[in-house]
Amino acid sequence: MQRRHAAMTAGAGRPMPIGARRRARRPRTGETMATKKRKIQTSWTPARDKKLETMQSAGKTAADIAKVLGTSRNAVIGRSRRLRGIVYQSDIDSWTRANARRSAEAHKRSLIRRDLQGKIVAEMLKSIASGVPREKAMERAFKAGAYWWQIGEHFGMSQQTAYETVKRAKKKRARK
C-alpha cells in the first residue's frame, strides 16, 4: 500500500493533483497510442522458457512452475504447449466444429437473403408493369435490399450502368 501511496503524492507527503496523475499516463512527445500498442512485450523471455523446460523435465507440476515464475498455471500450460508445438486432436475437432457451425449459419443467412432479394426484384418488375418509372422502381429495389448487379441483370445492364441510371434520374428529379 505504501508504494501506491508514494505514487499518488507529489513529494513531502502532499497529494498529487488529479490532472498530474492523468498526464503521467499520456504517451511521451512523438509517441502515439498506436506505437505504444506495438511495443507490447511478452513476459516469456528465452530465459523464462528455459527455466520452464528444465522444471518440466525435472517433473514439476504446472502449478509449481507457475509459483516459481510468478504467473498462472494456465499460462504455463499454454506456453509449454506452444513451445513444444503440440496440437491436440481435441483442438482440431473444436476448430472444425466452430468453423462448420459458422459456415452453416452463414449459408442459412445467404439463402434467406437471396430469397428476399428475389422477392424484391419481382416486386420491382411488378411496379414497372403497373406504370412506375423504371429508375424509380430500381431505386426502391436497391433501398429494399437488392444488389445493383441483380437489378441490372433484369435489364441486361451491368451493376455500374444500373447505378448510374438511377443516379442520373435522381439528379433530374432534384433539378425539377
Total residue length of the chain: 176
User: 76-98: per-residue pLDDT in tens?
Assistant: 988 998 898 877 788 788 889 88
Distance from C-alpha of 147 to C-alpha of 141, rounded to nearest angstrom: 8
- Higher-confidence position of 21 and 160: 160
What pLDDT does 16 receive?
Answer: 56
Do residues 25 and 18 lie in contact, with contact meaning Cβ atoms separated by under 8 Å? Answer: no
Is the pLDDT score of 156 beyond 80? yes
Range 108-119 average pLDDT:
93
What pLDDT does 6 receive?
Answer: 47
Residues 6+ apart with CB under 8 A from 76: 52, 62, 65, 66, 69
pLDDT > 70 fraction of the chain, expressed in percent and rounded: 76
Distance from C-alpha of 32 to C-alpha of 55, rounded to nearest angstrom: 40
**Per-domain boundaries in the chain:** 46-84, 108-175
User: 127-147: per-residue pLDDT in tens?
Assistant: 999 999 999 999 999 999 999
Q: How confident is the model at residue 112 (pLDDT cuts 50, 70, 90)?
A: very high
Distance between the two ends of the chain, CA-based, in angstroms?
74
Q: Locate cell 433501398: which residue?
A: 143
Instruction: Quote the DSSP letter at residue 156.
Output: T
Query: What does the buried/exposed string (b/e) look like for 19-48 if buried means 16 or more CB atoms within 10 Å of the residue's CB?
Result: eeeeeeeeeeeeeeeeeeeeeeeeebeeeb
Range 108-123 average pLDDT:
93
Strands 9-11 and 14-15: antiparallel
Is the pLDDT score of 67 beyond 70? yes
* Residue 14 bridge partners (DSSP): 11
User: 42-66: per-residue pLDDT in tens?
Assistant: 689 999 999 999 999 999 999 999 9
Do residues 50 and 79 lie in contact, with contact meaning Cβ atoms separated by under 8 Å? Answer: no
Distance from C-alpha of 35 to C-alpha of 154, rounded to nearest angstrom: 51
How many beta carbons lie within 10 A of that of residue 159, not counting itself? Answer: 14
To the nearest 10 degrees (0 to 180), the angle between helices 159-175 and 134-144 is 110
- Chain mean pLDDT for the chain: 82
Residues 6+ apart with CB under 8 A from 68: 51, 55, 60
